[in-house]
Structure 1
């Protein structure tokens, strides 16, 4: 093995977009693997970096949805070997720490440094001219190659295309699990999903799969509303006011059992509208992040107490990567969930800024970078 050069899309500071940069990439150390990426998902969370909404250490290599082939491994790696096809999980899962042992792999202690992009030993693997570059979520899938923790890779069967697999590293389980696990949708429930992008579309699929009677989508973009209807939504609206009126009517005044928040950015207005749209014992599940300097959950306690409403956050949709990534790919195989249909556009690495411009223009549900394109 030897240190190699890789081309990566890097954010050097907020509001300047992504810049293709030649970086030096270290050899993998103990319990680390070096991956040659084939595909990377373009998640809104990476966009929050360049827009200044996510406080991460810079410079940082973007990307936290990726799939590819293991190029080399460090010492004592047992989960995979060179040549294996893998999908990365942006939440590593060691399987042995306290959260993992309690069934909460989405809170594995191996992910403590995700915001800095450094490894648990306090070092980095990307470098240029003596400066350390982090990888977002300790991955950095907007790079041809990256060194990642052994605990952040999940073996991938040969029949799953890389562009499908990369989306199951974040967007699919985060949305699907937000409905099925975090919200706990049950048959016959009424569910409202705010935001029908790459995560919200999968919350729609999760709610449908869990047996919800009404799956209502709120999104200002007509294209996303139309797409949601093909993924299991029963009604869609451009505004929360329209949705509230419909939910009140269709439930005979009982209101929604669940509101799941997956917009581009969670705001106080959205949270308040969602809480007021839930009925007695209803739950609002917050999955999307908000603007770093703004408070999103500020409302009178009586709104919660009088109807015994709940508000909770969801990380990775409460999914366990080692269990749920293979399970979701199995549901894709059987046709129970749609993933290929989520891919609106495909881009090469040098088109990453155009890809996010298209996202802001409402043209993408989920798009992917194909590294060999």
Structure 2
């Protein structure tokens, strides 16, 4: 394919974090290089905010600064490298957390979405350990495979998914990470069965994704747990059957779940908060011998090491970690995108606040508001 890569460096606006915490941000002129052979330069249209962005702004788990954050979003392809085959200039695309080569041992096995060739990237750089962004001659780090809180970014083509151009742009941004992570956890990781019971710890975008998938898969009881009472209505909109606010009781959450689901507990638990003590509660709330707990919440650095009661696992329960909900970028995410296009999810319920790129400093404060689920960033 003939290259359509522009050789020009683009100067544009980007939200730069300098390492002093979530408030140490300035929207500045940055330079974005042309895409290399298998890369794509994307003009961002819209982005959204995830709690993982908040952790990275604080330098957790690695203080990589200066940094342009954002990993959820949607944009249009501005230019491509000479070896790019999956997208063309003008395509509407969303970034993905991981790639899928469909050739490595893990991709062929169908047992995991952890592609060995295109894994999650945590060093803030491209696959060749260089950056395509800079400010006043200084290298800029991105978040994972991308940095969506800027007007332009460069992404390896295998971390992009082409979507229908008529898709709601806000919805497209939501499925690029958070909502899809939860949906995939119920669908691909736990493989929720019709008639089963489950509990979801945390009713943010990830937890509501779990609820949505569980409802579609025919779960008979879907229990949502959140200390924010305002999340009850959100959970019900996505299909939740029961709600627990743990601050309203002195009993352990696992006991409250068993009281609702029967003394044996639920078939599945999903830990979406990253709060370490809740992991034991989630495991103990599942059925002895066959209960499954999936955890995907991102914890702070000093909480990386968690404890789960030995007996809880010894009695036959399963605890499994999940990246991007077990979704494969090419095989599975297009299915969610199609459902999104058909409005099969009430994703408008997630959109509670909006800011412009120039107002990005307000985003994290809004995320802490009790009525906030997602913050949309208008680029």
Same fold at TM > 0.5: yes
SS at match of 1:169: coil
2:258 maps to which residue? 248
Which deviates more, 104-113 or 250-259? 104-113
Is 1:168 the equivalent of 2:175?
yes
Assess, with a 3 A threshold, how the Cα gap between structure 1 residues 77 and 171 changes in structure 2: closer, same or farther. same
Question: Can you list the C-alpha shifts for 1:223-266, whole angstroms capped at 9, x where unaligned?
Answer: 22221111111111111847544432343311111110111x33
Q: After superposition, where does 1:207-218 map in structure 2 within 5 Å?
A: 207-218=214-225
Shift of 1:100: 2.6
TM normalised by structure 2 equals 0.91
Cα deviations by residue, 1:130-164 (Å, 9 ceiling, x for unpaired): 21112111200011100110111111112202221
Deviates more, 1:170-179 or 1:16-25: 16-25
Alignment of 1:84-233 (within 5 A): 84-103=91-110, 106-112=113-119, 114-233=121-240
**Helix, strand or coil at the partner of 1:138:** coil
Q: 1:16 to 1:342 in 2, by over 3 A?
A: closer
Q: What are the superposed Cα offsets for residues 170-198 of structure 1, whole Å, 9 maximum, x if unpaired?
A: 11220101111112211111111000011
Q: 1:328 aligns with which of 326, 333, 336?
A: 336
Matches within 5 A, 1:281-300: 281-300=290-309
Over 3 Å counting, the alpha-carbon distance change for 1:295 and 1:122 in structure 2 is: closer
The root-mean-square deviation of aligned C-alpha atoms, in Å, is: 1.9
Instruction: Provide the residue aligned with 1:303 in structure 2.
Output: 312
Give 1:289 shift: 1.2
Q: Is the 8 A contact 2:222 2:239 kept in 1?
A: yes
- Equivalent position of 1:12 in the other structure: 18
Matched, 1:238 2:249: no
Gaps of 5+ in 1: none
Alignment match, 1:33: 40
Secondary structure at the aligned position of 1:322 is classed as: coil
**Equivalent residue, structure 2, for 1:3:** 9
**Match for residue 262 of structure 1?**
272
Counterparts of 1:113 and 1:253, CA distance in 2 = 39
CA drift at 1:346:
1.9
1:193·1:216 contact (CA, 8 Å) conserved in 2? Answer: yes
SS at match of 2:301: coil
User: 1:51, CA displacement in angstroms?
Assistant: 3.0
